[in-house]
Structure 1
Amino acid sequence: MRYLLCLLIILLVSCSDAGKFIKVKGSDTEVKLAVSLAENFYKVHADFSVAISGGGSGLGIASLLNGQTDIANSSRPLNAEEIVLLKAKGIPIRTVIFAEDATAFIVHKDFPLDSIDVMSLAKVLNGQYKTWKPLTGKDIQINIYGRQSNSGTHSFIRSKLKIEFSRDAKEMNGNAQIVEGIKHDRSGIGYVGAGYILNNGTEQPIKVLKIIAKPGSIAISPLDIKAIAAHQYYFQRPLYQFIPLTSWNKVSAFIDFEKSAAGQKIITTSGYYIIPK
């Protein structure tokens, strides 16, 4: 992603004290929020230096395993294999859940539906439905805009729907690329972080589908803050930070800032949601 090249520059500040140089890697869902938090953290902790990059939850966790990061941002929990590897390498960690996110399913602004039920969505994404005819009556090929398998969002959707993605699904590098694809594809469907939509304006030439969790239930939008607070949206999830204990003393000031009133305000104004206490 183009903006990632900038992110590495925004917060790389010369710092002679390695004990105050923090490396954050991982989830693309979290990366813009992490940058905003770090920029404001630096205003009150100018002696720290923070470098942030994305690449996906899997990359962040791999960096954790390889000793290449102080904080691994992840939009999914550790899987069984990763837990075993951490134990085998003798890397004890602390887990911080610092915010909550909702995944939005987007289509072109002129798409004829405003909502979709979970069962139909599963059939679309796993390739059982090849065209939109069963849902819209139009025999138009479905184009899926998704993420690579190392993406936490990819894993989250697959787990929630209990599916394997269609082999025809396009693997995109991040939210921006998916949105750009959907803007120009009237038969496309993709998934992005709701925070990304809120952060970049809702007036884009795309439509955010409401989700019907089960027959007879109401359609819920991931942009409905009250519904998210009530945990009514089917595709909402916690956002994780995995921190090796060897880095805890270094990063604790940053974690404290996230939990402060200023940090919590940044989380909400960035389009994400605060974890209820």
Structure 2
Amino acid sequence: MKKNMVKTLALAGMAVLTMGALAGCGSNTAESTAAPTTAQSEAEATTAGTSSAETTTAAPAASADLKGSISMVGSTSMEKFATALSEIFMEKYPNVTVQAEFVGSGAGVEAVNNGSADIGNSSRDLKDEEKANGIAENIVAIDGIAVVVDPANAVEDLTKDQLTSIYNGTITNWKDAGGADQPIVVIGRESGSGTRSAFEEILDVADACKYSNELDSTGAVMAKVASTPGSIGYVSLDVLDDTVKTLKLDGTEATADNIKAGTYFLSRPFVMATKGEISEQNDLVKALFDYIYSDEGTELVKSVGLIPTK
């Protein structure tokens, strides 16, 4: 999706919300101006015809109070969410730049670990060894993994066992899964992809998949499946469109409601990893997480097709 389209979608979801979920965050930044004394505050409040108590509770931090840049690196599956978040946050705080790079979950976690990024976007749970290095797992949304086939495929539903057998190479023809007599072209993501890690972990097929093609982005998987007869692939729920056919799994459709209900088994967290807890980060990063976990942030998560954590 083009950047301006993402922005439009996100802003539409925000239009009904009040601004100011980040009240007072900028007052902690090193680049913000010194806070006025109590006497100055009272004097200014009197001049404006407002009591000092009203001044204290007049919520939002001025946009000029937040200045600087935030760097995010990681999951291509999180591109839609991360781009929308960046656009909205920079709109709200014009003196802040949010830079996002999409190179895979493993690379994102490593970037945080070595200090080259503030945030590592990971579309999978963090590994024990990553947590042991002091990386904090901050879950910001839940995403479903949809199984897609080319539009001409007659199959509507797969069981978990059938899906597992297709990816481990036990089933190689659609006739053995209720379809036509046609070879199955197994499409997957590249090693290091959070989507692949989550998919293989849920199906217990790590290091056992028989891929025909391993592609380096969600968009590439969608395009390959759409154009390849007999193909099957897996993608994030939020990128689905009518170029592919989405299969039911164990009779259950891939929807946010079914994921919340726990009836659709292919789901995974969207993690924005940090080196240390959020409370240990710089003021800009803290402010970004304050926004994500605010009511506005919750609506943003929903607007890009994901499931909020609260």
Q: Shorter-normalised TM-score: what interval?
A: 0.7 to 0.9
1:229 pairs with one of 248, 256, 260: 260
TM-score (norm 1): 0.82
The 4+ residue runs of structure 1 with deviation greater than 4 A are none
Unaligned runs of 5+ in 1: 8-16, 87-91, 213-218
Deviations 1:52-100 (A, max 9, x none): 011110010111122111000111122233334x2xxxxx343311111
Contact 2:167 2:211 in 1 (8 A): no
Percent identical residues: 26
Structure 2 spans left out of the alignment, 5+ residues:
7-30, 32-65
Equivalent in the alignment of 2:188: 146
Q: Which has the higher strand share?
A: 1
Counterparts of 1:1-277 in structure 2, within 5 Å, are 20-84=68-132, 86=133, 92-136=134-178, 138-163=180-205, 164-197=207-240, 202=241, 204-212=242-250, 219-222=251-254, 224-245=255-276, 247-276=281-310
TM-score, structure 2 as length reference: 0.74
Aligned-residue offset at 1:34: 0.7
Report the alpha carbon displacement of residue 188 of structure 1 after superposing the two structures with TM: 0.0
Deviation at 1:22, TM superposition (A): 0.6
Residue identity opposite 2:299 in structure 1: K
Give 1:173 deviation, angstroms. 1.4
Q: Is the 8 A contact 2:154 2:180 kept in 1?
A: no
CA drift at 1:102:
0.1
The CA deviation string for residues 164-215 of structure 1, in whole angstroms up to 9 with x for no partner, is 3434431111111111111111200000000111xxxx3x231100111xxx
1:211 is aligned with what amino acid?
Answer: L
Q: What is the alpha-carbon root mean square deviation over aligned residues? A: 2.2
1:249–1:93 distance in 2 versus 1, CA, 3 Å = farther
2: distance between equivalents of 1:103 and 1:40? 26
Which structure has the greater CA radius of gyration?
2
